[in-house]
Amino acid sequence: MENIRITLHNSTRFELEKMLKQAENKGDLRGAKRIMAIFGVAEGLPYKVIASTLNVIEKTVTGWVEKFLLKGPVGLISLKSPGRKPKLTKSQKKELSRIISRGPAKAGFPGACWRSPMIQHLIHEKFGVFYAVNYISELLKNMGFSFQKARFVPSRTDRTARTEWLKTVWPEILKTAEQKDALILFGDEASFPQWGTLSYTWAKKGHQPLVKTSGIRKSYKVFGLIEYFSGRFFCMGHEGRLNSESYTVFLKDVMKKTRKHLVLIQDNASYHRSGAMRTFFEKHSRRITVYGLPSYSPDYNPIEMLWKKIKEKETHLHYFPTFQSLKDRVNEALLHFGNMKDEVLSLFGLYDRLPGKKSAASAINFYIKIEIKKIVTA
């Protein structure tokens, strides 16, 4: 049969679209291909192109067209059941898992995140197995995947420096802490705006949730440090600007509350590296040893997750009519986490997986040995 053009009336097109959707939902790949072939012919595509696209031979396309011309849409219905839905084998699922984990770009798709239709297409093209798009999420759950919100990573992140920090600097920090009988403190600052912050919530379609705001452009700042071995949380609220002077006041307060040497891990904020802070650290070098995190690496700083928890629980979607009401809410949250050492310790997941992590018991034994050594040498 020569390549011919088929004109589809609206009623016929509607019927075919309905049949195509049913075939997809049933996982009837063969039935879906028949209907897509007819749509292709109606668009004027050569049989050879349609056959190549649908991964069949040209003679098969000719047969489908003949049946359609003789019986209409009914001629495309399979006389026998398509049988059990084709499934991926265990080895195919493992390969699919590796492909998905590498990201869509490595698989030739645009964008940085997967969507169900993309994975449906990938499975069909790679393994010749057709899954209804609605089933893809169930398949992925069974394979150990979950639907998550993506996180931005700065394009300027230096991967070499980050790897080197975990491989070399972190072991050095642990060694320094052991030699000096020191606390390991991860530090950072957070800002809590009075005008409020928004997050996702449930609502009826077409009815966007409304949250009152004072509209006042004022925020409550907080300095914080969390301790690696004990989960102790040091913090100080501040109403002015974050600068070297206010940072020094906070660190002096922490020094008064502790007796041990402090190994301070901080990010690269400008006032952390100012001339005034360098002078301060040199002056107090017998009490403080400073290490800087790699640039653009907030995920290496566990206290970042603590700020996130406080904001999610205490300030997101809340209305603060006065600055004092904001301060009170934040200070209550700070006090709460000050008494939740186990919850703070749970934030060090990244470092728990690295060599050299001391368990709570080993940390206690470590400090006992230090105390015994002091008694023996006294």
Residue 107 has pLDDT above 90, yes or no: no
pLDDT digits (tens, 9 = 90+) for 169-184: 999 999 999 999 999 9
Residue 51 has pLDDT above 50, yes or no: yes
Mean of pLDDT values over 212-230: 89
Q: Give the model's pLDDT for residue 260.
A: 96
Q: Give the model's pLDDT for residue 294.
A: 93
Q: Is the CB of residue 300 less than 8 Å from the CB of residue 161? A: no
| 370 compared with 273, residue with greater pLDDT | 273
Confidence of residue 78 (pLDDT cuts 50, 70, 90): low
Residue 48 has pLDDT above 70, yes or no: yes
Confidence of residue 373 (pLDDT cuts 50, 70, 90): very low
Residue 122 has pLDDT above 50, yes or no: yes
pLDDT digits (tens, 9 = 90+) for 247-273: 999 999 999 999 999 999 999 999 999
Mean of pLDDT values over 244-249: 96
Q: Give the model's pLDDT for residue 325.
A: 92
Q: Give the model's pLDDT for residue 116.
A: 87
Confidence of residue 364 (pLDDT cuts 50, 70, 90): very low
Rounded percentage of the chain residues whose pLDDT exceeds 70? 88
Q: Give the model's pLDDT for residue 249.
A: 97
Mean of pLDDT values over 28-47: 86
Mean of pLDDT values over 97-102: 92
| 68 compared with 376, residue with greater pLDDT | 68
Rounded percentage of the chain residues whose pLDDT exceeds 90? 43
Q: Rounded to an integer, what distance in angstroms lies between the CA atom of residue 344 and that of residue 338? A: 9
Confidence of residue 12 (pLDDT cuts 50, 70, 90): confident
- Mean pLDDT score across all residues of the chain: 85
> Highest-confidence range of 66-80, 98-112, 159-173, 208-222, by mean pLDDT?
159-173
Confidence of residue 376 (pLDDT cuts 50, 70, 90): very low
Residue 159 has pLDDT above 70, yes or no: yes
Q: Rounded to an integer, what distance in angstroms lies between the CA atom of residue 22 and that of residue 16? A: 10
